[in-house]
């Protein structure tokens, strides 16, 4: 009897580890170890032809990757930041409207926001390529209205890349914003009004601070993937607006240069993590775990 109870208590104590074990192993082996190996590979010298790598502790490969690609990295950060700001501005009103005005049809509108995801990301981008091309719908309409000249081009420009990024990640911004607005108690808005705060003051001092977690999640789900994205740039962009994702992809899959590719990936990962920490601090979050 007491043996059975002891066994039961042992099982009880081991339960969290047993339940978590498969996931922990999976994450360790297929997420953390590859990241560690990537750092190791960045310090190795690899032979692109044979794929054999030798450890050389070349920490300089990281700084080399940085100097070689800093322009492209800054460009990627800028594009992703612009796309994120566009998305925040565009999706705030709709998130606000769904949270406070949509009433019983909330779920319907939320699903409408998700509809683009039912079509493959690559196909969506390819269709934009057609729509934005020189003989496509958008350019034709603008030309018909004599708003632009006959040799006007959208495809291949920086604008097209940023527009594509903003389009593809918009729902990722709108949904977290909606979640945090939905939690906001409308009585607070009334209280702010009763205390003689104007609309702008209320927005700035009540709505925005309470939405901080949503804005943070939006940043996470829009800025980070946009920063590393290369599909939009490859399909919609042209020369002169290469993003860092394109470079990494080419290093790995075209040049077979795993060492340089790893070094650049380490830098991208580092920038993403630094960005997350700084952004989280700015928004005054106590711990990163609050947002998981």
Partner 1 sequence: MRSTRGRWLGLYSWLLLAYLLVPIIGMVFFSFNDVLAGRPQVSFQWNGGTLRWYRELTHIVGLPESFWLSIRLAVASTIVATIVGTLLALALVRYEGKKFRGRRIVDQTLFMNIAAPEIVMGASLLGMFASYHIARGFTTLLISHAVFSLAYVTVTVRARLQGFDRHLEEAAGDLGSTPLTTFRLVTLPMIMPGVLAGAMMAFALSLDDFVVSNFVAGTTLPFPVWVYGATRMGVPPQVFVFGTLIFLLGAAAAIGSLVMSRRGMKRT
Tell me which residues in 32-61 interact with partner 1 (CB under 8 A): 32-35, 37-38, 41, 51, 53
- Least CB distance to partner 1 at residue 85 (A): 16
How many Cα neighbours within 13 Å face the side chain of 168?
Answer: 30
Kindly identify the residues of this chain, within the stretch 59-118, that bind partner 1 according to CB under 8 A: 90-91, 93-94, 96-98, 100-101, 107-109, 111-118
Q: How would DSSP label each residue in the chain?
A: -HHHHHHHHHHHHHHHHHHHHHHHHHHIIIIIHHHHHHHHHHTEEE-TTT--EEE---THHHHHHHHHHHHHHHHHHHHHHHHHHHHHHHHHHHHHHHHHT-GGGHHHHHHHHHGGGGS-HHHHHHHHHHHHSTTSHHHHHHHHTTSS-TT---TBSHHHHHHHHHHHHHHHHHHHHHHHHHHS-HHHHHHHHHTT--HHHHIIIIIHHHTHHHHHHHHHHHHHHHHH--HHHHHHB-TT---HHHHHHIIIIIS--HHHHHHHHHHHHHHHHHHHHHHHHHTT-S-GGGG-
Binding segment (CB under 8 A) for partner 1, from list 54-62, 65-73, 135-143, 144-152: 135-143
* Interaction between residue 239 and partner 1 (CB under 8 A): no
Kindly identify the residues of this chain, within the stretch 138-167, that bind partner 1 according to CB under 8 A: 167
**Residue of 72, 131, 197, 212 that binds partner 1 (CB under 8 A):** 131
**Residue of 178, 235, 237, 260 that binds partner 1 (CB under 8 A):** 235
Q: Which region, left, alpha or beta, applies to residue 250 given φ > 0 means left and ψ of -120 to 50 means alpha?
A: alpha
* Mask for 163-202, x = binds partner 1 (CB under 8 A): ----x--xx-------------------------------
**Residue of 1, 4, 23, 49 that binds partner 1 (CB under 8 A):** 23
When the beta carbons of 10 and 24 are compared against partner 1, the nearer one is 24
Q: Which two tokens stand for residue 108?
A: 């319907």
Q: Assess contact for 106 and 192: CB atoms under 8 A.
A: no
Binding segment (CB under 8 A) for partner 1, from list 64-72, 154-162, 202-210, 250-258: 250-258
Binding segment (CB under 8 A) for partner 1, from list 15-23, 59-67, 149-157, 207-215: 15-23
Kindly identify the residues of this chain, within the stretch 252-291, that bind partner 1 according to CB under 8 A: 252-253, 258, 261-262, 265, 268-269, 272-273, 276, 288-289, 291
**Residue of 55, 122, 195, 278 that binds partner 1 (CB under 8 A):** 122
When the beta carbons of 214 and 228 are compared against partner 1, the nearer one is 228
Q: How many residues bind partner 1 (CB under 8 A)?
A: 89
**Residue of 10, 27, 191, 278 that binds partner 1 (CB under 8 A):** 27
Q: How far apart are CA 129 and CA 23, in angstroms?
A: 40
Binding segment (CB under 8 A) for partner 1, from list 8-16, 57-65, 149-157, 202-210: 8-16
């Amino acid at each position: 009897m007491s043996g059975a109870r002891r066994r039961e208590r042992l099982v009880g104590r081991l339960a969290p580890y047993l339940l978590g074990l498969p996931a922990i192993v999976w994450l360790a082996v297929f997420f953390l170890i590859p990241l560690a190996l990537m750092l190791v590979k960045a310090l190795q010298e690899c032979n692109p032809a044979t794929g054999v790598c030798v450890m050389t502790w070349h920490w300089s490969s990281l700084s080399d990757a940085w100097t070689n690609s800093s322009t492209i990295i800054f460009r990627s950060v800028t594009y992703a930041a612009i796309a994120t700001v566009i998305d925040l501005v565009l999706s705030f009103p709709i998130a606000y409207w769904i949270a406070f005005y949509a009433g019983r049809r909330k779920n319907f509108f939320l699903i409408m926001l998700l509809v683009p995801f039912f079509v493959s990301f690559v196909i969506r981008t390819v269709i934009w390529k057609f729509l934005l091309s020189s003989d496509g719908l958008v350019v034709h309409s603008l030309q018909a209205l004599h708003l632009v000249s006959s040799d006007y081009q959208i495809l291949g420009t920086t604008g097209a890349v940023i527009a594509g990024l903003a389009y593809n990640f918009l729902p990722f911004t709108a949904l977290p914003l909606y979640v945090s607005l939905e939690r906001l108690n409308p009585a607070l808005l009334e209280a702010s009004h009763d205390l003689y705060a104007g609309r702008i003051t209320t927005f700035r001092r009540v709505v925005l601070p309470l939405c901080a977690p949503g804005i943070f999640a939006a940043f996470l789900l829009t800025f980070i993937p946009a920063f590393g994205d290369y599909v939009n740039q490859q399909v919609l962009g042209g020369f002169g607006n290469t993003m860092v994702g394109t470079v990494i992809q080419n290093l790995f899959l075209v040049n077979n240069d795993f060492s340089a590719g790893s070094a650049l990936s380490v830098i991208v990962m580092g920038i993403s993590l630094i960005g997350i920490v700084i952004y989280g601090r700015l928004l005054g979050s106590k711990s990163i775990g609050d947002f998981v």
